[in-house]
A and B are shown apart, each in its own frame.
Chain A
Amino acid sequence: MDDPLTLQALSKRYGDGPPVLSDLSRSFDPGTLTLLVGPNGAGKTTLLRLLAVQAYPTSGAVRYGEIDVHEEPYRYLQRVGLVHAGPALPEHLTAVELLEWILRSRGQWTDDEGPARIGSLLDRLRLDERRENLIGTYSSGMTQKAQVAAAFVAEPAVVLMDEPLRSLDTATTEATVDLLREFVADGGLAIVASHLTDALRPHADAVVRLGEESPVSA
């Protein structure tokens, strides 16, 4: 867990419209939590989509250590946990089955430790006995908990989160912030876009304000 994520003169525009992000250069270091803030349309989701390889830059590059993330998405995503803006989870699986699938698919499943690892994560996120129910029956808050769990279950080095606290109750918000705090303390690299910054700001190492003349770090 010691590679930085580096933006190299990153620009993105949609079609021939004005650039949403322009010539953005900076480094996100391991062991840090960075908050992306800004008004609607400032480019928070666009930046996260670029970091998550769900969008490709108009120019510039994103590097994770030696990897150009848009050239080698598979290698990069091995180290990444994601919380997307929309739920986009399979409705006909339970949360437990979803996490097991992720672990098996990433070659991290063991019959001895797998169930305990999932159980402990879902306990921390307070996803109760309904974790064995189908995700399609979940409330938006429960779906969000399953998303957060899916991001952390494979023990990534980088987590990218778009509005992870949306729809969460107070207790789960605190649990998610605790999870992030521990992840960062263990050397993880977290980048979070959120309008609900009160809970996260005390733990943030940097705040990047988008939508201004040039991105500002605080």
Chain B
Amino acid sequence: MRLKIAALSGAFVLAGVLAGLLAAPVAFGQTPGLIIGAVYVGSVNDYGYNRSFHDALAQVARDLPGVKVIEAENVPESAAAESVLENMIQQGAKLVVPTSFGYADASRRVARRHRDVAFEFAGDGDPERNFGVFFGSTQRAMYAMGVAAGKMTKTNKLGFVLGVPIGYSLGNVNGFELGAKSVNPKAKTVAVVTGGWSDKAKEAAAANALLDQGCDVVSMHVDSPATIIQAVEARGGMSIGFQSIEARALAPKGWITGLGFNWAPFFTQIAKDVMAGKFSGQAIYRGLGDMVVIAPFGPSVPPDVQTAVKKAGDEVAGGFNPFTGPLNDNEGRPQLPPGGTVGLDQMGRMNWYVDGVIGTLR
């Protein structure tokens, strides 16, 4: 009997150790001069947000000698993230990149405990000594996407699937509608919220609901555009991608264009700063032309639309801010006075839909 208990407990301990070993974050790169730790809320194979970071960090590991990257995927946005971050620091990570908005509290707590480790948090908030914040400003770039949608739509109804209605997502759909309205005053955007960054079944149902409502161009702000683009393509609609320009492979007929992130130059600079001991936390938001790129156009996009989109993209890259007052929200309340603007660092606090977006937030 006691032998049985001993054997069983031994088996459990062994299983636990094996599980722990197998669960350790995946690493790649050469012998470490700098270890970068990256934490993802989803999988890096998502044709979307997480993949954009994975691709960029892999690029940094290739370009800079002595850089090694450790990654942890599918880490929930809760206090559990703290233990993952601590684990990475114990493995020697000197630059930690929490990539999802929901890791804010956990990463700030860990950063305060480890002032010798640099953090670059993908989101907003005040930077601290060793805690930088950054993001690619897609909201103004979405204006160019709206121009594409406004020109390509035949029903004047555009669809937009939102995951979580944080300020950045609302800014995206607002930028989209502003761009569409600028070339097609009758264009309206229907906004549907699924409630999560990556709820595939709801995304499929949301895309179908939008198409049922007569929207013929659909864009999105969710972690992976894959499900929505495939659902739209299956019903003959057109799509505008987001997060990763690789998503165009999913819609050979209906792809118009899309936005993607290019984090590699930014991370290369930050990695160099950390290795030289010169890192200091700042708020860095860059948009089109730097961290954000426009995807290649699909086969059905006529040349005049491509020109218009490129022109709008150049304007945005040159500093044009579509979020300039006077702007009313879709309930008629004025949100921006004449001349008022929403700056890149204030985007996280946006909480209204612009006039022309069909949807409610309360």
Query: Is the pairing of A and B real?
Result: no
